Amino acid sequence: MVNTLGGNYIKIKQGESSGINLFDLEPDIKGNSEFLNILDKVSEIRALLSTITRNYLNRPLTVKEITSLEITISEIYREKGITTDVNSLYERNGGKLDNKKFAIGKIKKKMPTLTDLQKKLYSKEESKELAELLIPFLNKNSIGMFDCQSNIDINSELIAFDLSSIKDEFTKLYASFVIMSWIWQKFVLKNRKDKKIVAVDEGWTFVKFKESAEFLETLARRGRKHNVSLIIASQFIQEYLANDER
């Protein structure tokens, strides 16, 4: 149906690069000015990693891990020359494209990746355990689908993500979390005057963990300012309704 309507159908598979990068940024608006909302991105990544530690270590992030994570994310953006200034997203004098050709003008910089984050976290004693936990999520490992640069063309008005090949429940939640974060940057923040819909199937998986439930609730609230309606589909309505962030 998506193909028939001229949409973009994207299948996510474990062990294969998805072309989606968790660290992507697009201009946001505050008042009448555009800026890069790095602080919100830090919050998203912190919520994602705390969801991961709850699943695998049965605990949230520690205070030291939160502090290390906050500092490290800011560092890896700064090392790419990316600040809150929208112009910092682009190379000043053009650059080399993925097809090995050169272009003059606004060429978007390569974003930080999960590998960049993991390496820096591992270099700090207070976040070594967190860094080790992230190894399966790195490129070419079992859950490394999102440790890459984004290369998906999303000019279509209809985009569908297929997670049917992922059987593990938590891996599917992880994939949904990253995709939702990416959709916010690439879809919600653009064309703000247009009415948009984001539909999430298996929404009950988000409410299993405090941080992922809060993330979904935050997107619903923030989306109102961008003409976005969030639709949640769930087969387990009681789990969803019993959660405070519903």
The pLDDT tens digits of the residues spanning 97-123 come to: 555 556 566 788 999 999 999 999 999
Q: Are 23 and 175 a contacting pair, CB within 8 Å?
A: no
Query: Which of 102-106, 130-134, 169-173, 232-236 has the lowest average pLDDT?
Result: 102-106
**Beta-carbon count within 10 A of 157 CB:** 13
Residues 158-180 have pLDDT tens digits of 899 999 999 999 999 999 999 99
Q: What is the pLDDT of residue 172?
A: 94
pLDDT grade for 189, boundaries at 50, 70 and 90? confident
Given the DSSP bridges, would you call strands 8-11 and 159-162 parallel, antiparallel or unpaired? Answer: parallel
CB neighbour class for 15 (10 Å; exposed up to 12, middle 13-18, buried from 19): exposed
Q: What is the pLDDT of residue 182?
A: 92
245 has pLDDT over 60: no
Over residues 64-92, mean pLDDT: 94
Residues 37-49 have pLDDT tens digits of 999 999 999 999 9
Domains of the chain in start order, with CATH, are: 8-13+26-241 (1.10.8.730)
Token readout for 83 is 């600040």
Q: What is the pLDDT of residue 235?
A: 78
| Residue pointed to by tokens 């906050």 | 70
Over residues 83-99, mean pLDDT: 78
Q: State the Cα–Cα distance between residues 240 and 131, nearest whole angstrom.
A: 31
Over residues 19-26, mean pLDDT: 95
